Amino acid sequence: MVMIDANIILRIILKDNQEMVDASLDFIKNNNVFIKNEILAEVIYTSVKFYKMDKSEICEFISILIDDERIITESKELILCALNLFKIRSLDFVDCLLYAYNKIFGYKIFTFDKKLNKLLDK
């Protein structure tokens, strides 16, 4: 198993360098890859903030990506929960991950973020 970084995923999403897109897709097709939550957060942040992608579009792509049997994540359930919240709320993806950690694993979250606290109190 090999861990991939955000640039591999971003090349596939952005299709801005066909040689790198092909190499990235080929690598994923032929290997089991591990994607950390931090990498997904970087992909989402970069694609939404810098490349102005639609939140729903990037969430759909990530959902399809992690559904691939060759993709291993820390918790698909956690990521899907965070993605679903990210699509409908005005929160950063990392805050959505924190919410998901609370709802799925019962982790207590201490934050001064008012929007996140409001959700956690429900």
pLDDT tens-place string over residues 9-54: 999 999 999 999 999 999 999 999 999 999 999 999 999 999 999 9
Q: pLDDT over 90 for what percent of the chain?
A: 98
CA–CA distance, 87 with 56 (Å, rounded to integer): 6
- The identity of residue 77, as a single letter, is E
Predicted pLDDT of residue 1: 87
Q: Classify residue 90 by its DSSP letter.
A: S
Q: How confident is the model at residue 121 (pLDDT cuts 50, 70, 90)?
A: confident
Cα angle 17, 33, 65 (rounded to 5 degrees) comes to 65
Residue positions counted in the chain? 122
Angle at which helix 93-105 crosses helix 76-88, to 10 degrees, equals 130
Rounded-to-integer distance, Cα 55 and Cα 63, Å = 12
Domain ranges (residues) in the chain = 2-120
Residue 8 is encoded by which pair of tokens? 């591999």
Check pLDDT > 70 for residue 111.
yes
Q: What's the CA dihedral at 7, 12, 18, 20 to 10 degrees?
A: 30
CATH fit for domain 2-120, picks 3.40.50, 3.30.70, 3.40.190, 1.10.3470: 3.40.50
> What's the mean per-residue pLDDT of the chain?
95
11 with 20: CB under 8 angstroms?
yes
Confidence of residue 122 (pLDDT cuts 50, 70, 90): low
Q: Give yes or no for residue 105 having a pLDDT over 80.
A: yes
